[in-house]
Structure 1
């Protein structure tokens, strides 16, 4: 009985021209993939020199940059919240962009926010997260969080050699943001709705960009708190090392 012949020819059975075309096609695809530009994820960029930096130590500069980035992260979160909660910016201005500008100006110029009834720091943050708060909650939350950060840094956004930081206050600010984030995601308004729509976890998709940006702020605060504590501790250790090593580091006479 004759064996059935396979329906798919072996490579040796293919015409030479067909094999050559297949090889050329694969090589062409490989070269195209290698020549395609990689995705641009941005570059690290430093700021231009300013004369004020002559009055800053490395730790001063680090704290100044962290504060600047934390405030910019809060403003980015404000924009995200306004996009998901458009009814809020309508309580403040005629457009989202104008509302963002008002809040940014109040934060940077350390001006009070009227809807917070003169409260600042954690008292303002607590009021902004009350279920019965009737004002622009996005603006109030952003302003109060920013004011709390600035207060934790001694009321400053830029630091020089004469400025000091209390690491426990910075550490407490990080914990306050964790608590505020939890309240924002769990507390409900009087009507049973979330205080603000922030993260999205649903059948349509997941959007945790708010959570990630908030995590960046908390991470920077914890780093500054740890770094400041370590700097003070190392200063004490260095002083002690100088006292102990002093007698052994004296130059010896040579004549």
Structure 2
């Protein structure tokens, strides 16, 4: 009896680990009944529960309704949101005068407005504009409000729109590779505007990349990551559905926004 139990423990741990790690599936011919006597079958269940509790990666029941591409999309959405928050903080550090235009606001309160649980994509101070329309406000000579907030509200809502305004994805969800690709081009266009657009007085609308001794590569890195994530997801979605992306080549003269 002891030998049977030892064999059961070894076999159970071996197969459960493989099942849990997603390496393989238990062969149909090797069932619980075949390698474990009825009296020891509860051991299989208890071992499964123990391994589940000790797993290094958290497991959610909802993960069962996700494909591989859904899990990748979830990771990218989370990473994009973190990059956008980092960009917002850096822009306020470089442009503290913009925050002072919004009475009573702090960097933390601005972040909550865009990334908090009750975050919205349209704001009264922006004339309810979002996405591309909000981004263009930041480079409008007549606009007198917080340009950092206008830029970030527009950029954030534009990227979210390319993800169908979803934060989590499941098997039945469908993404549009063209929207993802176009949003990547819009991110590039936004970065170009930050580097090149200046006001009538010769000053940039917003300090970001800088130049000469004042150059700041952190902004370039963030924009590069934001763009790369959108492009990679667009490619994955296109390959999944065997579709072709209509690619646009941006030159300095054609650095225009693409509607999402």
TM-score category (smaller protein)? 0.5 to 0.7
Deviations 1:175-194, CA, capped at 9 Å, x for gaps: 01101111111111243210
Residue 100 (structure 1) aligned with residue 94 (structure 2): no
1:124 equivalent to 2:134? Answer yes
SS at match of 2:178: helix
What 5-or-longer segments of structure 1 have no aligned partner?
1-45, 235-255
Residue 61 (1) aligns with residue 71 (2): yes
Shift of 1:170: 0.3
What does residue 195 of structure 2 align with?
185
Displacement of 1:154 after TM fit?
A: 1.6
Partners of 2:133 and 2:63 in 1: how far apart? Answer: 34
Note the 1:160-199 alignment, pairs <5 A. 160-199=170-209
Relative distance call for 1:94 and 1:119 in structure 2 (3 A) is: closer
Alignment of 1:79-158 (within 5 A): 79-92=89-102, 93-105=104-116, 109-158=119-168
Task: Encode CA deviations 1:29-53: one digit per residue, 9 max, x unaligned.
Answer: xxxxxxxxxxxxxxxxx86333322
SS in 1 for 2:116: helix
Check whether the contact 2:114–2:120 (CA below 8 A) recurs between aligned residues: no
RMSD between aligned alpha carbons?
2.1
SS in 2 for 1:218: helix
Separation in structure 2 between the aligned mates of residue 144 and residue 73 of structure 1, nearest angstrom = 15
1:174–1:47 distance in 2 versus 1, CA, 3 Å: farther
Distance verdict in 2 for CA 1:111–1:148, change over 3 Å: closer
Query: In 2, Cα distance between the equivalents of 1:206 and 1:187?
Result: 16
Separation (CA, whole Å) in 2 of partners of 1:201 and 1:125: 22
Q: Aligned residues, how many?
A: 187
- Aligned residues of 1:132 and 1:189 also touching (Cα < 8 A): no
* Aligned with 1:232 (options 241, 249, 252): 241
Alignment of 1:42-81 (within 5 A): 48-81=58-91
Query: How far has the Cα of 1:157 moved from its partner?
Result: 2.0
Q: 1:156 to 1:47 in 2, by over 3 A?
A: farther
8 Å CA contact retained: 2:194, 2:209: no
Larger Rg: 1
Once the two structures are TM-superposed, the CA of residue 111 in structure 1 deviates from its matched residue by 4.5
Deviations along 1:218-254, whole A, 9 cap, x unmatched?
00000000111111129xxxxxxxxxxxxxxxxxxxx
**Runs of 4+ more than 4 Å apart:** none
Counterpart residue number, 1:212 = 221
| SS across alignment from 1:224 | helix
Structure 2: which 5+ residue stretches go unaligned? 1-55, 244-260
Q: Is the 8 Å Cα contact of residues 131 and 157 (structure 2) preserved in structure 1?
A: yes
Tell me how far apart the structure 2 counterparts of residues 191 and 102 of structure 1 sit (CA, whole Å): 31
Shift of 1:135: 1.1
Partner of 1:200, secondary structure, is coil
